[in-house]
Amino acid sequence: MLFPVLLSGWIEIPDGGQMLNGRGFGKAFVTSQTENHAPVVKILQPLQQATFTWNALVPFDIRVSDAEDGESKYQEIQSSEVLVKLKYAKNSAMAAAFLKQKIFPDTAGVAGMLVSNCFNCHAVKTKLAGPSFQDISRRYPFTDKNVDLLTAHIQKGSTGIWGKEVMPTHPELAEPEVRKMVKWILRYTDDPGLNFFVGLQGTLPLNKTEMYRHGGYFIVTALYTDHGTADDPEKKITGSDQVILRVK
């Protein structure tokens, strides 16, 4: 008889069992679909509804648990694969609307950057070894031509564009994935009310700008995209958590 199996493998059908190949005996390769569970993301710090002053540096602490990938507290989940988004809202109604989001279009394209080495050399608003993504978006407006150009720079590398810095080649990255990364950089990183950070722990700067002369709110969103399952690594699920901060 055929019995369900939990893992892929060979099972043997004895005489008297179900005929698979016109004989009373055979082998079949049975593949089961392993369920992928959504990651559980929890923002431990800052606390929900905490109040801060402008220009405060707010520590954050994230914990991630995933049935397939493991636990962040045991270093089974890479800190470099956790994205923290900081979004400004000028009033409570806008903040409440952001908290109801189930889909985050402003993070499309980032997943590939987290598992690559992009954030080793670049930050969103500040310069590291390479230019900030904000500086890149200011030099290259969002056009099809610039998307093509930057896609080529990432895949083939470049030198001399930002001084002495060398952009290494990334032949392992498929062009469609690179184009998603480039579009994210050009579309979102120059927004003064939006910032992104990488890691399980770090600091969130509640920077005051000319656009935000009064108080308001910051929505902190932590996201982790899992690695799918062994039989379907492309079937990824993103887990998230959010807290709202008041600034005055």
**Domain coordinates in residue numbering, the chain:** 1-32, 36-247
Compare 23 and 166 and report the one with higher pLDDT: 166
pLDDT at 33: 67
Measured between alpha carbons, how far is residue 162 from residues 116, 128, 152 in Å?
21, 12, 16
Alpha carbons 186 and 136: distance in angstroms, whole number: 8
62 falls in which pLDDT band (50, 70, 90)? very high
Provide the β-strand partners of residue 245.
Answer: 218
Per-residue pLDDT band at 146 (split at 50, 70, 90): very high
Helix axes 144-156, 175-188, angle to 10 degrees: 120
Task: Tell me what the pLDDT averaged over the chain comes to.
Answer: 85
Phi, psi (rounded to 5 degrees) for 110: -80, -30
| 193, 87 contact by CB (below 8 A) | yes
Q: What is the pLDDT of residues 209-234, one digit of tens each?
A: 777 778 899 999 999 999 988 888 88
More confident residue, 76 or 14: 76
CATH fold of 36-247 reads Cytochrome Bc1 Complex; Chain D, domain 2 (1.10.760)
Q: Which range is least confidently modeled, 33-37, 81-85, 91-95? A: 33-37
Would you say 107 and 223 are in contact if contact means Cβ atoms under 8 Å apart? Answer: yes
- The pLDDT tens digits for 84-100 are 999 999 998 999 888 87
Instruction: Report the percentage of the chain scoring pLDDT > 90.
Output: 62
Higher pLDDT pick, 119 / 106: 119
